[in-house]
């Protein structure tokens, strides 16, 4: 099976926004450390928030796309890199947007143990997510048959 890799362009705008916050945060923390009398508590909090976003959100998203191989799905789930083997995958579904928490359609993997996870970098229009889901179903069929 050919290796598939997904990086969603829908998240690039968000990444740029978060990176901007991180740059501001690092700058504020450095200024606060070098000139503590001039840095107010708000600026220090802003800097800490930027650094937390860097470590917890941005780096994992950039470093770990959704990669589909013969071994399974390689992705970042529940704050860690994960391999979901094909034997653990029951099905894929496209879940429609649900308000502000999930503004885009996304592909959800259903596992044989009953758990469900939205797959990173599959968000977008219903057509976009549906296309990815169909490619994943085809990869699953190739692997099992």
pLDDT reported for residue 90:
97
What would the mean pLDDT of 107-131 be, rounded to a whole number?
Answer: 91
Contact predicate 51/43, CB 8 Å: no
* Number of residues that make up the chain: 145
State the Cα–Cα distance between residues 65 and 52, nearest whole angstrom: 20
Q: At residue 47, does pLDDT exceed 80?
A: no
Which one has a higher pLDDT value, 144 or 89? 89
Domain ranges in the chain?
A: 9-63, 66-144
In tens, the pLDDT along 1-43 reads 678 888 755 455 566 666 676 677 677 777 777 776 666 676 6
Give the pLDDT confidence score for residue 7 in this predicted structure.
Answer: 73
Higher pLDDT, 29 or 126: 126
Q: Higher-confidence residue: 63 or 82?
A: 82
Q: Which fold has domain 66-144?
A: PH-domain like (2.30.29)
Number of other CB atoms surrounding residue 52 within 10 Å: 12
pLDDT number for residue 26: 73
The pair of three-digit structure tokens given for residue 9, joined into one six-digit string: 């362009």
Quote the CA–CA distance of 74 and 134 in Å, as a whole number. 17
For the chain, give me the number of helices (H) and strands (E)? 4, 7
């Amino acid at each position: 099976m050919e290796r598939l890799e997904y990086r969603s362009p829908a998240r690039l705008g968000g990444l740029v926004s978060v990176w901007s916050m991180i740059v501001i945060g690092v700058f504020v923390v450095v200024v606060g450390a070098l000139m503590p009398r001039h840095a107010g508590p708000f600026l220090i909090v802003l800097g800490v928030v930027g650094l937390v976003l860097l470590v917890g959100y941005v780096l994992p998203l950039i470093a770990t796309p959704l990669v589909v191989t013969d071994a399974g799905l390689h992705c970042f789930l529940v704050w860690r890199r994960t391999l979901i083997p094909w034997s653990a995958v029951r099905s894929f579904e496209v879940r429609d947007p649900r308000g502000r928490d999930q503004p885009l359609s996304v592909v959800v993997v259903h596992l044989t143990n009953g758990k469900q996870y939205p797959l990173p970098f599959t968000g977008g229009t219903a057509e976009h997510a549906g296309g990815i889901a169909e490619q994943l179903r085809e990869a699953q069929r190739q692997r099992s048959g």
